């Protein structure tokens, strides 16, 4: 017994609608662009499933013209929203003109082949190709996304989109070479049932795997918050200490040098008292940017608290580290902070110490760098 195609459409609509509404509801637990992305993804599912419902209601509650108009536009708009949601997921802006252009153009073409030149097979091919293109585009987006971690989740999410995309390509092939859709869109046969049942499974997998992507990104965000200083986005004291211990252990094994620079902002309290705490925050951010710009990618930069920073230099001996220290002091001197209509001059003091490879101890390294810092402050450097 072959399951009625309309029944498959209605089941697809119900499952897809529930998962779409579930995404919108789940988005309340998130924030920022991730929340917006989930809302757009959920809305896309609702639009797409509304289009599926419009196709299933053809000849029951909707005229053929209304069904063609709504099914084509809503399904394509929903597929386009999936793609826009993934752009938001990657931190990019949406481009809904692209979605509208595809949905409107294909709907217009298919209305022409419905009203002016009735040709059902052409409508099926045009719609299937456009829908397959949008779903495949989303699959590629996930594969190339830098916001997705975990191969299994990435492959599942991308594979879900590709499953639906390939099923609609198969629909085109069946229509072109096996004479499908000569008279009725909702004709009951095994091919139709398998095609749309597979698509229904794909739609559910898309929403489910996307939720896994969001959960993974949210967990990474929590991990980042635990490791970084929220104001400067540098490593916090705990994370810096953990990384320093790893680098010290590596240097002890390899015999490579390792140095530490301690940095303190001179006159920071005066900046707060004179210009306010908002200016003080901007000073710390400005100093963080300057430090990052003047060290190597492999160097570890952290804010240890207040106006105190530290830079760990793997592979750098004491002389090399002193050169970095001088470069940092000069960079801060040469780049005052622009604040409103004026500038706030800045100075830092810095102290450097190299790891004693005979007795590699982090507390000792930190203490000697601190001593060098305070000597620099006493001498006005």
pLDDT digit string, tens, across residues 289-298: 999 999 999 9
In the predicted structure, residue 381 carries a pLDDT above the cut 80 = no
In the predicted structure, residue 258 carries a pLDDT above the cut 90 = yes
If phi > 0 it is left, if psi is from -120 to 50 it is alpha, else beta; for residue 342 that is: beta
**Residue 186 pLDDT:** 75
Are the CB atoms for 202 and 210 separated by under 8 Å? no
Identify which of 293, 326, 296, 299 has the alpha carbon closest to the alpha carbon of residue 313. Answer: 299
**Residue 5 pLDDT:** 85
Are the CB atoms for 171 and 192 separated by under 8 Å? no
In this prediction the pTM is 0.71
**Residue 175 pLDDT:** 86
What confidence category does residue 380 fall into, taking pLDDT thresholds of 50, 70 and 90? low
Q: Tokens at residue 115, please?
A: 């009203």
Q: For the chain, state the CA radius of gyration.
A: 30
**Residue 181 pLDDT:** 62
- Mean pLDDT for all residues in the chain: 91
**Residue 174 pLDDT:** 86
Q: Is the CA virtual torsion 34, 36, 37, 42 positive or negative?
A: positive
Rounded CA-CA distance 361/367 in Å is: 10
Min mean pLDDT across 28-37, 259-268, 351-360 is at: 28-37
Q: Tokens at residue 244, please?
A: 């320093």
Contacts of 363 (CB under 8 A, 6+ apart): none
Sheet (strand 258-265) strand order = 300-305, 308-314, 258-265, 348-354
What confidence category does residue 159 fall into, taking pLDDT thresholds of 50, 70 and 90? very high
- Portion of the chain with pLDDT greater than 90, in percent: 75
Q: Is the model more confident about 159 or about 180?
A: 159
Give the 3-state DSSP-derived string for the chain, with helices as H, strands as E and coil as C: CCCCHHHHHHHHHHHHHHHHHHHHHHHHHCCHHHHHHHHHHHHHHHHHHHHHHHHHCECCCECHHHHHHHHHHHHHHHHHHHHHHHHHHCCCCCCHHHHHHHHHHHHHHHHHHHHCCCCHHHHHHHHHHHHHHHHHHHHHHHHHCCCCCCHHHHHHHHHHHHHHHHHHHHHHHHHHHCCCCCCCCCCCCHHHHHHHHHHHHHHHHHHHHHHHHHHHHHHHHHHHHHHECCCCCCECHHHHHHHHHHHHHHHHHHCCCEEEEEEEECCHHHHHHHHCHHHHHHHHHHHHHHHHHCCCCCCEEEEEECCEEEEEEECCCHHHHHHHHHHHHHHHHHCCEEECCEEECCCEEEEEEECCCCCCCHHHHHHHHHHHHHHHHHCCC
Are the CB atoms for 299 and 314 separated by under 8 Å? yes
Give the rounded distance of the alpha carbon of 343 from its chain centre. 36
């Amino acid at each position: 017994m072959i399951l009625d195609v309309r029944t498959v459409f209605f089941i697809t609509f119900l499952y897809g609608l529930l998962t779409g509404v579930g995404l919108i509801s789940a988005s309340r637990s998130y924030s920022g662009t991730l929340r917006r992305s989930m809302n757009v993804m959920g809305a896309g599912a609702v639009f797409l499933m509304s289009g599926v419902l419009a196709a299933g209601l053809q000849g029951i509650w909707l005229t053929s013209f209304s069904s063609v108009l709504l099914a084509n536009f809503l399904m394509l708009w929903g597929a386009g929203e999936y793609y826009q949601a993934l752009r938001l997921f990657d931190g990019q802006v949406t481009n809904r003109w692209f979605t509208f252009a595809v949905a409107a153009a294909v709907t217009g073409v298919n209305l022409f082949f419905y009203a002016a030149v009735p040709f059902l097979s052409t409508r099926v091919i045009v719609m299937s190709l456009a829908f397959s293109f949008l779903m495949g585009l989303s699959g590629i987006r996930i594969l190339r996304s830098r916001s997705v971690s975990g191969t299994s989740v990435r492959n599942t999410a991308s594979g879900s989109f590709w499953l639906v995309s390939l099923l609609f390509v198969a629909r085109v092939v069946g229509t072109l070479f096996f004479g499908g859709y000569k008279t009725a869109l909702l004709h009951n046969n095994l091919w139709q049932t398998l095609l749309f049942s597979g698509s229904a499974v794909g739609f559910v997998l898309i929403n489910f795997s996307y939720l896994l992507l969001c959960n993974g990104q949210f967990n990474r965000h929590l991990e980042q918050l635990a490791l970084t200083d929220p104001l400067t986005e540098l490593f916090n004291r705990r994370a810096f200490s953990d990384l320093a211990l790893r680098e010290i252990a590596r240097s002890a094994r390899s015999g490579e040098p390792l140095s530490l620079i301690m940095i303190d902002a001179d006159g920071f309290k005066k900046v707060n008292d004179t210009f306010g705490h908002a200016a003080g925050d901007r000073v710390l951010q400005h100093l963080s940017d300057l430090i990052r710009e003047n060290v190597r990618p492999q160097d570890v930069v952290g804010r240890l608290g207040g106006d105190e920073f530290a830079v760990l230099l793997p592979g750098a001996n004491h002389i090399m580290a002193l050169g970095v220290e001088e470069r940092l002091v000069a960079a801060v001197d040469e780049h005052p902070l622009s604040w409103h209509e004026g500038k706030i001059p800045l100075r830092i003091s810095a102290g450097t110490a190299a790891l004693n490879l005979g007795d590699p101890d982090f507390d000792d390294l930190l203490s000697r760098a601190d001593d060098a810092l305070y000597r620099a402050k006493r001498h006005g450097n």
